Structure 1
């Protein structure tokens, strides 16, 4: 189980790193667009489309696994303090199982959309330039699927009693 947990850590960190590169690329692209507007009076072509169809998807969906692994998702614990340790474990088990199902359904649904857009060759036109957008549609299913894997690892840890503490404050 520790091998799987370590692999999940590495994978989630790698995706968070890729998303961080996406943030830097987006910042550079937007700053270059602003600089171009100030110096030449014209924007860089397709900046809005690149931000909308690539950068934002990269930043929003790839780090899901990392956030799940660190225990950083929003949680409401209204009744948690009233539960016995055994019932708290059952609650954690049910929540993790529900999380796996939700992430898996979202991965599947977004995968179908991505494949449909790939098959049709989805694109947008900006300033008479055709910008292919279908590759960006594969980022949400990747993020959801990897988050489902991370929550599955957590579910297995709960089942086997090898739960790890939340990693909210670790780098």
Structure 2
């Protein structure tokens, strides 16, 4: 599993960098839109569409890094009150459900993203903006989460079986690739 761990760390690190760049670009786009409205009284065409795409990209590409580092919100009211191995079994069940949902979501979103790309789907607003980049980033983000949650499931199952489990990482604030 160390290979899966190293691969998950690198890939989630790369997607975290891309998500960070999307955040920076989103700030620039929104600032440009605000300045344009103050100076000219209207928005620049296409900035809303770019903002929407960047927002989707930063959420779904950032999700992999948050999952890998344990940075998502977790509530342990039930598992915290259980013995260690029982809590690990309960988390393993949750991990299996999460993996099943991720596989289903990847299948559904992949089909939709492919149809969007092949069909040339556009959002009609002030400008015609392609929807496939946002749809593709959803698929990529969800797809990258599958091996990460497989790793989490492996750790939880190992702990449930009483095997030695490597220390859980604390959420990191830096990206190492």
Same fold (TM over 0.5): yes
Corresponding residue number in structure 2 for 1:84: 83
Does structure 1 residue 126 correspond to structure 2 residue 121? no
Runs (5+) with no aligned partner, structure 2:
159-163
Counterpart residue number, 2:139: 141
Deviations 1:73-129 (A, max 9, x none): 2222222233222212211221222111111111111111111212221112333x3
Superposition TM-score, scaled by structure 2 size: 0.85
Runs of 4+, deviation exceeding 6 Å: none
Q: TM-score, normalised by structure 1?
A: 0.88
**How far apart, in 2, do the equivalents of 1:79 and 1:131 lie?**
46
Q: Secondary structure at the match of 2:45?
A: coil
2:121–2:130 Cα contact (<8 Å) kept: yes
Gap change, CA 1:78 and 1:67, over 3 Å in 2 = same
1:124 aligned counterpart, secondary structure: strand
Extract unaligned runs of 5+ from structure 1: none
Deviation track 1:17-52 (CA, whole Å, cap 9, x = no partner) reads 100100110111111122222223332111111112
Distance 1:88 1:97 in 2: 14
Structure 2 matches for 1:1-171, cutoff 5 A?
1-52=1-52, 54-127=53-126, 129-160=127-158, 161-168=164-171, 171=174
SS of 2:124's partner is strand
